Amino acid sequence: MAFCNACGNNLAPGVKFCPKCGAVQGATSGAPAVPAPTTAPAQPQGSSALKIILIIVAVVVVLGIMAVGVVTYVGLRIARHTKIENSGGKVRVESPFGTLESNNNPEEVARDLGVEIYPGAHMANGKSANMNIGGMHTVSAEFDSDDSPDQVAQFYRAKFPNANVTSSNQGHTAIVSTANGNMVTITIDPEGGGARIHITNVSGKGIPGGSGG
């Protein structure tokens, strides 16, 4: 016995329409129709890529925040252990990395440099530094002279006849000498109508020995 798919009325075999409700009948018996299985819509590939990008961005942001925190912490520790003293024209900075001192006294600067200053030259204000960092001692200063760069260069060539490097080009002269664990670098440049002299003396571990003045 067949039944109407819509109202359940008894139907004769092969009937196409229900005489009671007029509903169209299928070719099979009145067994309840099974709905076709539904599948979830496919997720666009772009959505997965966006999630990965967002995760990467989040990780970068977190790492950046952590890095800023570490730098701030280290900076605060350095600031707490850094001392600055200003006395008699000398500025001395003591930090966990070493000391830095500026000096406007030409005689003291010349003594620290260990290099004879060109006669008549005067030290450029604020152009000296005395540093002790990582086992290296560096003294640096600048001087001005009314004499020509060639005259100044001749003076220092005579003081360092066995210098490792001596070069001159268009008024610029460079002299480098290593001896007794010290590396002395002297540069001479035109300055106004005279010459600007820059002298640096570096001593400590890692300075090669050699011949010099």
Does one domain contain both 95 and 178?
Answer: yes
Does one domain contain both 116 and 194?
Answer: yes
What is the structure's pLDDT at 155? Answer: 94
Please write the tens of the pLDDT for every residue from 150-207: 999 999 999 888 888 888 887 789 999 887 778 889 999 998 889 999 988 888 766 6
Does one domain contain both 99 and 172?
Answer: yes
Does one domain contain both 132 and 196?
Answer: yes
Does one domain contain both 116 and 181?
Answer: yes
Q: Is 160 exposed, middle or buried (0-12, 13-18, 19+ CB in 10 A)?
A: buried
What is the structure's pLDDT at 30? Answer: 45
What is the structure's pLDDT at 192? Answer: 85
Please write the tens of the pLDDT for every residue from 101-127: 667 777 777 788 888 889 998 888 767
Residue 149 resides in a domain: yes
What is the structure's pLDDT at 213? Answer: 40
Domain extent at residue 3: 1-31
The pTM of the whole model exceeds 0.75: no
> Strand order of the sheet with strand 83-87?
83-87, 90-95, 98-102, 122-133, 136-145, 194-204, 182-191, 172-179, 165-169
What is the structure's pLDDT at 207? Answer: 62
Distance in angstroms (rounded) separating the CA atoms of residues 162 and 97: 35
> Torsions phi, psi of 186, nearest 5?
-125, 125
pLDDT at 46 over 70: no
